[in-house]
Amino acid sequence: MDNKKLGIALVVFCIAIAIIFFGFRYQIQKINKASCACESMEQGSVCPAEQSNTGIIDYISIALIFSMFALGVYLIFFEKGQKEIIKTLENHRKIQTEEEKFELMTKAMDDYEKKVLGIIREQNGITQSTLRYKVDISKSKLSSILSDFEKKGLVKRVPKGKTMEIFLK
């Protein structure tokens, strides 16, 4: 049973219990008033039926009913928050998994290859000429690295004017 259904059931249950409790309480007070028409009341003393101490039981009952009602309302609205938390955790796990894959992939690369791939990852769609300036290597070395990456299926080069745009696959 999901939280929303459980919360609705709990709220309905609390309303029913509250109606029954206050109905019985009203009937008990009605019976107490009717039974206090005795001789001791005529003389001005206190009726023994009114001396019963049910006040603490009333407070405990009301507190329990209110607590269960509050829990039901919380459960009704908690499901939305729970779904958001689960979605955030899944996104975080996905990002972490991608980071781990990237780290494993770069372990076998030299420093220039790591730099090139890192910059492409940061700025997907970077032009080859901009990448060359950021990494600070020659055109031929960069072209060789990108060709290797294309053969391995890591990047895709798309012509853009006189240069190429590089995208991660």
- Tell me if 3 sits within 8 A of 82, measured CB to CB: yes
Q: What is the pLDDT of residue 88?
A: 87
Percent share of the chain, pLDDT over 70: 86
For residues 120-129, average pLDDT: 87
**Rounded to the nearest 10 degrees, what angle do helices 111-122 and 139-152 cross at?**
70
Q: Which residues share a beta bridge with 126?
A: 166
Amino acid at 45: S
pLDDT in tens, 29-84: 787 777 766 555 555 566 655 555 567 778 888 898 899 999 888 888 876 667 77
How many Å apart are CA 113 and CA 41, to the nearest integer? 101
Element (H, E) at 168: strand 163-168
CATH fold, domain 111-168, is Arc Repressor Mutant, subunit A (1.10.10)
Q: What is the pTM of this model?
A: 0.46
Structural domain spans, the chain? 3-104, 111-168
